[in-house]
Structure 1
Amino acid sequence: MSANTVSFYNLAWRWHFYAGLFVIPFMIMLAVTGSIYLFKPQLDNLLYSDLMLVRPAGQALSADQQLDKLRQAYPQATVGQYLPPVDAEHSAQFVVSLDGRKTNLFLDPYSGQVLGTQDAQNNLQAIARSLHGTLLIGMVGDRLIELAAGWAIVLVVSGLYLWWPRGQGMRGVFWPRLANRGRLFWRDLHAVTGFWGSLVLLFMLLTGMTWTGFWGEKFADVWNRFPAAMWNEVPRSDQQARSLNTAADQTVAWAVENTPLPASDPHAAHKGRSATGMAAPSGQVSLQRVVDTAAERGVVPGYSITLPADETGVYSIAVFADDPRNDATLHLDQYSGKVLADIRWQDYGVVARSVEMGVVLHEGKFFGLANQLLMFAVCLLILLSSVSGLVMWWKRRPQGSLGVPPLRHDLPLWKTAVVIMIGLGIAFPLVGLSLLAIWALDWVVLSRIGGGKVVAD
Structure 2
Amino acid sequence: MKQSTPSFYNLAWRWHFYAGLLVIPFLILLSLTGIVYLFKPQLDQLMYADLLQVPVTGQRLSADQQLAVVQRAYPQANVQQYLPPVQADRSAQFVVDNAGQGINLFVDPYRGMLLGSQDAQNNLQAIARALHGELMIGTLGDRLIELAAGWGIVLLVSGLYLWWPRGSGGAGVLWPRLGSHGRLFWRDLHAVTGFWGSLLLLFMLLTGMTWTGYWGAQFAGAWNHFPAAMWDAVPTSDQQARSLNTSTKQTVAWAVETTPLPLSDAHAAHTGSAASQAGSAAPQISLQQVVDTASARGVQPGYSITLPKGAEGVYSIALFADDPRHDATLHLDQYSGAVLADVRWADYGLVAKTVETGVMLHEGKLFGMPNQLLMLAVCLLVLLSAVSGMVMWWQRRPQGRLGVPPLRHDLPRWKTAIVVMLLLGAAFPLVGASLLLIWALDWLLLSRLGSLRRLVSG
| TM-score in terms of structure 1 length | 0.95
Partner residue, 2:63: 63
How many equivalent residue pairs?
Answer: 448
1:438 has 2:438 as partner: yes
> CA 1:246–1:449 in structure 2 vs 1: closer, same or farther (change >3 Å)?
farther
Partner residue, 1:11: 11
What does the per-residue CA deviation read over 1:260-299, in whole Å, with 9 as the maximum and x for residues that have no partner? 1100013357999xxxxxxx94511000000000000110
Partner residue, 1:45: 45
Partner residue, 2:411: 411
Partner residue, 1:364: 364
Is the partner of 2:103 in helix, strand or coil? strand
1:330 has 2:330 as partner: yes
What does the per-residue CA deviation read over 1:383-424, in whole Å, with 9 as the maximum and x for residues that have no partner? 000000000000011111111111111111111101100110
Partner residue, 2:134: 134
Opposite residue 259 of structure 1, the aligned amino acid is: T
- The separation in 1 between residues aligned to 2:4 and 2:267, in whole angstroms, is 74
Mapping for residues 143-154 of structure 1, pairs under 5 Å: 143-154=143-154
Q: Is the Cα–Cα contact under 8 Å of residues 45 and 52 in structure 2 kept in the other structure?
A: yes
Identity %: 73
Partner residue, 1:105: 105
> CA 1:31–1:271 in structure 2 vs 1: closer, same or farther (change >3 Å)?
farther
- The separation in 2 between residues aligned to 1:271 and 1:242, in whole angstroms, is 36
Q: Give unmatched runs, 5+ long, in structure 2.
A: none
Q: Is the Cα–Cα contact under 8 Å of residues 189 and 388 in structure 1 kept in the other structure?
A: yes
> CA 1:451–1:166 in structure 2 vs 1: closer, same or farther (change >3 Å)?
farther
Mapping for residues 198-213 of structure 1, pairs under 5 Å: 198-213=198-213
- The separation in 1 between residues aligned to 2:274 and 2:98, in whole angstroms, is 25
1:308 has 2:305 as partner: no
1:346 has 2:346 as partner: yes
Q: Is the Cα–Cα contact under 8 Å of residues 397 and 403 in structure 1 kept in the other structure?
A: yes
- The separation in 1 between residues aligned to 2:244 and 2:412, in whole angstroms, is 51
1:88 has 2:83 as partner: no
1:389 has 2:389 as partner: yes
Q: 1:4: Cα distance to partner?
A: 8.2
Q: Give unmatched runs, 5+ long, in structure 1.
A: 273-279
Partner residue, 1:321: 321
Q: 1:5: Cα distance to partner?
A: 5.2
Is the partner of 2:111 in helix, strand or coil? coil
Is the partner of 1:79 in helix, strand or coil? strand
Q: Is the Cα–Cα contact under 8 Å of residues 173 and 192 in structure 2 kept in the other structure?
A: yes
Partner residue, 1:170: 170
Q: Is the Cα–Cα contact under 8 Å of residues 333 and 339 in structure 1 kept in the other structure?
A: yes
Opposite residue 174 of structure 2, the aligned amino acid is: F
- The separation in 2 between residues aligned to 1:148 and 1:384, in whole angstroms, is 18
Q: 1:6: Cα distance to partner?
A: 3.0
Q: Is the Cα–Cα contact under 8 Å of residues 271 and 282 in structure 1 kept in the other structure?
A: no
Q: 1:99: Cα distance to partner?
A: 2.7
Q: Is the Cα–Cα contact under 8 Å of residues 207 and 355 in structure 2 kept in the other structure?
A: yes
- The separation in 2 between residues aligned to 1:226 and 1:306, in whole angstroms, is 22
Partner residue, 1:277: none
Partner residue, 2:222: 222
Q: 1:70: Cα distance to partner?
A: 1.1
Is the partner of 1:266 in helix, strand or coil? coil
Q: Is the Cα–Cα contact under 8 Å of residues 403 and 450 in structure 1 kept in the other structure?
A: no
Q: 1:363: Cα distance to partner?
A: 0.2
Mapping for residues 67-78 of structure 1, pairs under 5 Å: 67-78=67-78
Opposite residue 242 of structure 1, the aligned amino acid is: R
Q: Is the Cα–Cα contact under 8 Å of residues 19 and 151 in structure 1 kept in the other structure?
A: yes
Is the partner of 1:317 in helix, strand or coil? strand
Partner residue, 2:195: 195
Opposite residue 320 of structure 1, the aligned amino acid is: F
Opposite residue 323 of structure 1, the aligned amino acid is: D
Q: Is the Cα–Cα contact under 8 Å of residues 5 and 409 in structure 2 kept in the other structure?
A: no
- The separation in 1 between residues aligned to 2:243 and 2:369, in whole angstroms, is 31
Opposite residue 341 of structure 2, the aligned amino acid is: A
Q: 1:359: Cα distance to partner?
A: 0.2
Is the partner of 1:202 in helix, strand or coil? helix
Partner residue, 1:275: none
- The separation in 2 between residues aligned to 1:448 and 1:317, in whole angstroms, is 62
Q: Is the Cα–Cα contact under 8 Å of residues 236 and 263 in structure 2 kept in the other structure?
A: yes
Is the partner of 1:146 in helix, strand or coil? helix
Opposite residue 444 of structure 1, the aligned amino acid is: L
Is the partner of 2:80 in helix, strand or coil? strand
> CA 1:2–1:64 in structure 2 vs 1: closer, same or farther (change >3 Å)?
farther
- The separation in 1 between residues aligned to 2:228 and 2:281, in whole angstroms, is 30
Is the partner of 2:149 in helix, strand or coil? helix
What does the per-residue CA deviation read over 1:210-263, in whole Å, with 9 as the maximum and x for residues that have no partner? 000000000000000100110111000110000000010000000000001100
Q: 1:448: Cα distance to partner?
A: 3.7
Q: 1:72: Cα distance to partner?
A: 1.1
1:184 has 2:190 as partner: no
- The separation in 2 between residues aligned to 1:178 and 1:271, in whole angstroms, is 84
Q: 1:12: Cα distance to partner?
A: 2.1
What does the per-residue CA deviation read over 1:49-76, in whole Å, with 9 as the maximum and x for residues that have no partner? 1111111110010000111111111111
Deviates more, 1:94-103 or 1:205-214: 94-103
Q: Is the Cα–Cα contact under 8 Å of residues 33 and 132 in structure 2 kept in the other structure?
A: yes
Is the partner of 1:335 in helix, strand or coil? coil
- The separation in 2 between residues aligned to 1:111 and 1:45, in whole angstroms, is 21
Partner residue, 1:125: 125
Opposite residue 186 of structure 1, the aligned amino acid is: W
Q: 1:447: Cα distance to partner?
A: 5.9
Q: 1:7: Cα distance to partner?
A: 3.3
Q: 1:156: Cα distance to partner?
A: 0.5
- The separation in 1 between residues aligned to 2:173 and 2:110, in whole angstroms, is 60
- The separation in 2 between residues aligned to 1:327 and 1:49, in whole angstroms, is 27
Is the partner of 2:394 in helix, strand or coil? helix
Deviates more, 1:48-57 or 1:280-289: 280-289
- The separation in 1 between residues aligned to 2:445 and 2:421, in whole angstroms, is 22
Q: Is the Cα–Cα contact under 8 Å of residues 404 and 451 in structure 1 kept in the other structure?
A: no
Q: 1:148: Cα distance to partner?
A: 0.3
Is the partner of 1:302 in helix, strand or coil? coil
1:36 has 2:36 as partner: yes
Opposite residue 256 of structure 1, the aligned amino acid is: V
- The separation in 2 between residues aligned to 1:392 and 1:319, in whole angstroms, is 46
- The separation in 2 between residues aligned to 1:285 and 1:250, in whole angstroms, is 25
> CA 1:123–1:324 in structure 2 vs 1: closer, same or farther (change >3 Å)?
same
